[in-house]
Every structure is written in structure tokens, then in C-alpha cells.
Amino acid sequence: MTAYVDYAYYRDSFHGSAVNEADFPGLAVKASAFIDRQTFNRLRSAEIIPDEAKMATCAVAERIQIAEKSGALSVNAAVKSENNDGYSVSYNDLSLIRAQLYADYEDAALPYLHGTGLMYAGVDLPKRRCY
């Protein structure tokens, strides 16, 4: 899978600085996969990737970096509370944590993808294709 953006686009067009050049390729691939889910893989067959999708990819890459650095999906993040009086541990539901992260990524992508038609989940009559 190739990413929709490279570091030069991130730095020069998106004007991003939160992600360093060494980490960007991996984050961009993950962000591109997320954008594919949001756009029902419409961009995979596109000859030219619209700037809105590239900008959304950059925004999501920054959010993924934040989540990874914070350890949001680690075992320690799942600990809700601990009690040393008889020792007990309660855990957060990991599916809720993932849903919160997914919503955060959606929030990052939405300002760029809104109104483009890329997120339309209905039927494309000219192409006779359901999304």
C-alpha cells in the first residue's frame, strides 16, 4: 500500500511540523488506510488524488502519532483503576478506546473531506456501484 502523501507535501503544502521526516512514511500509510475506509476505497482507483484527501491524510497522520506516543492502545492505557487493598484492577473496554480513537481520526479528516462526495455511502447510479 502506498501513502497518499509524502513528507514534502506534509511540510510544504499542509505546513505540518508535528511529525518528523523519519516517522512520517509509516504514519502516512496508516492514515491513508484510514482515509480509504472513510472514502470507501474510491481513491485507490483515482488517477489524481484530490488535495482534500491529501490534507485529510496529513491531519490523520498527526493524530495517529499522538495516539501512538501516548500509548492509547497499550495494556497500561486499558487500566481503569487499581486498588492495593486486597489488590484488584479494573480495565477499560478496549473497544471503547478504539472507538474514541477512530472518532478522533474522523474529526481530523472531516473538515477536509466534507462536501467532496468522497464520504458518500449511497449508490452511485452512473457507475451502478453501491458503497
Question: What is the structure's pLDDT at 17?
Answer: 96
The Cα–Cα gap between 118 and 49 comes to: 11
Residue 95 grid coordinates:
473497544
DSSP-derived 3-state class of residue 12 = helix
DSSP-derived 3-state class of residue 75 = helix
Torsion sign over Cα 50, 52, 55, 57 = negative
pLDDT of 10-52, one tens digit each? 999 999 999 999 999 999 999 999 999 999 999 998 899 999 9
The Cα–Cα gap between 56 and 58 comes to: 5
pLDDT of 96-131, one tens digit each? 888 899 999 999 999 999 999 999 887 766 766 666
DSSP-derived 3-state class of residue 61 = helix
Give pTM, 2 decimals: 0.82
Q: What share of the chain in percent tops pLDDT 90?
A: 65
Residue with cell 457507475: 127
